[in-house]
Amino acid sequence: MYEGLQKLEQMLALPTPEPDSALRIRALNGLGTLCHYGSEFLKARRIIEECVELSRSQGDEKGLAKALTNLAWVHSELSDFPVARVLSKEALVLQEKLGERRGTALA
């Protein structure tokens, strides 16, 4: 897990001609998820919040739905249940709209 975390951090640190790419959205979500699994909840929150913002600005509903779901889980770990609930509700609406059965179950 830590090797994957390091690789994603290195990739995200590289200069890129398209900093607002779908690849960056997936990488941020992956890095945030690994931080979450590693109990680095504050770092995970910061990274996934960036992913949410980027997904919104790019109109990437699938990336946004995944990021909102993951961010809700992180807020739950931080005992910030009111925020987790709001995020989960938004994620659920998107997951259902996209027909994502697994995502709907997780949201």
pLDDT tens profile 18-32:
666 888 899 899 999
Q: CA-CA distance, 74 to 58, in Å (whole number)?
A: 23
Length reported for the chain: 107
Q: Residue 62: pLDDT band by 50, 70, 90 thresholds? A: very high
SS3 15: coil
5, 3, 71: which is closest to 34 by C-alpha? 5
Mean pLDDT within 79-105: 94
Q: Can you give the pTM of this predicted structure?
A: 0.85
Least trusted range by pLDDT, from 10-14, 52-56, 92-96: 10-14
User: Which residue has better confidence, 105 or 37?
Assistant: 37
Helices 81-98 and 61-77 pack at an angle, to 10 degrees, of 150
